[in-house]
Amino acid sequence: MRGKQSESKYKVNNEIRVEQVRLIDEQGKMIGIYPTREALKIASERDLDLVLIAPQADPPVARIIDYGKFIFEQQKKEKAERKKQAQQQLKEIRFKWRTDTHDFNFKVRHAREFLLEGNKVKASVFFRGREIMHQEVGEELLNRFIQELSDISKIDQSLKSEGKRISVILAPDKAKIQQYEKQKKQENQS
């Protein structure tokens, strides 16, 4: 049971300064509306804390719980929500217009990993000097790249020429990824 002042957004035990509260027990069942002193007495008899969880309600809602456990659960929920909100990153893969087959396959493998992790992939072909005259070779390379990854991705931004480079952005396609992973699992079992 807590005795000291809390530093959180919840008022606990003697910090609660309202006349009466709607009391909820440790199982989450509503007991009724009680004067705050009586609610504190009930909580201390059960060797738990009285935590004001909804101060704006009329009357305010207080719950009888183990405060330390309650804070731990709240932090766990917040962490899980932040994890869900993790933003998608844009990973870039760079090619030269005369990229070798081995290098191409290596970069496709990396792009596949990025897409399976849920990140977008920007593939770019860079041209130097007069190489820009071979732009169709770069487009062909990127089309091959798109084709290699079509089983787990969709085109987010189609081929686009930006100065001395051509690029495309691929985004992970969740339905295709699930199908791909299911297929991989079946291959591993047989």
pTM over 0.75: no
Higher per-residue pLDDT: 93 or 163 = 93
DSSP structure class, residue 46 = T
Size of the chain in residues: 190
- Residue 46 contacts residue 26 (beta carbons within 8 Å): yes
- Residue 119 contacts residue 86 (beta carbons within 8 Å): no
- The three-state secondary structure class of 127 is coil
Cα dihedral angle (136, 140, 145, 147), rounded to 10 degrees?
140
Task: With CA atoms as reference, report the closest residue to 169 among 154, 184, 190.
Answer: 154
* pLDDT surpasses 70 at 2: no
| HSE-up (13 A, CA, CB side) for residue 47 | 0
- State the average pLDDT over residues 7-23: 82
- The three-state secondary structure class of 18 is coil
Instruction: Identify the structural domains of the chain with CATH numbers, from first to last.
Output: 11-66 (3.10.20.80), 90-184 (3.30.110.10)
* pLDDT digit string, tens, across residues 169-181: 999 988 888 888 8
- Residue 109 contacts residue 148 (beta carbons within 8 Å): no
* pLDDT digit string, tens, across residues 99-132: 889 999 999 999 999 998 888 999 999 988 888 7
